[in-house]
Amino acid sequence: MKKQLNIIKLNKMELTLNQKLSLIQKEFKANKSKFNSFGKYNFRSAEDILEALKPFNEKYQVNFTITESIVESQFLQFPMLRSVAAISDDLDILTASAIVGVDLEQKGMQMPQKFGSASSYGKKYALGNLLLIDDTQDPDASNKHDKTPAKEELKWLNKNTPEFNKALEYVKNGGLVSAIEAKYKMTKEVKDELQMFKLK
């Protein structure tokens, strides 16, 4: 039995990093421990992903790391964070990145919280890009069930309101702007601001 385990371990060590990552992508599962009250769906956080990755470190003799940096440009109107997720072994390294904006006008948050929120999103989407995670929200989040009120009956979605903040949170977590349009009327300015924070 011990000899068989050694053979299995040796075979894992002989895999290329690309092969290891491919196996991890197939085997990876992470709980969706967070709930979005606006979109009514569960989603996974960066912490959920990192916790689920820990067993693969020993299994495939790899390490996962995340680094962050400020994107500097004279054309940017607000700070941007670049998050880079990496998987490495003794021979190679593979990376994937994501860029997110820091919403400096987010109400009810101190500056460290604003950067912390953007950092969490960046880490999550960088890891998602590396692991090919499909983080589509639950179908009911955008299912209208033929109960969508007529456009003239919808309320306006205005900036700096609790409804707008929930909508912004929904979009940052991967929600669709079109799903918000099914519930609210909005000006082009409001729609453009939501789309600006849409993470791909």
24, 31, 70, 140 from 96: Cα distances, Å: 15, 22, 16, 30
pLDDT mean by block of 10 residues, the chain; 200 residues = 44 80 92 71 84 94 95 77 95 94 80 86 92 60 40 72 78 72 80 68
pLDDT of 91 reads 93
Residue 146: which region, alpha, beta or left (left: phi > 0; alpha: psi -120 to 50)? left
- Three-state DSSP class for residue 98: strand
Tokens of 135: 């983080």
Note the pTM of the prediction, 2 decimals: 0.59
CA pair distance 16, 115, nearest whole angstrom: 36
pLDDT of 6 reads 42
pLDDT of 39 reads 67
Task: Specify the DSSP element, H or E, that contains 19.
Answer: helix 17-27
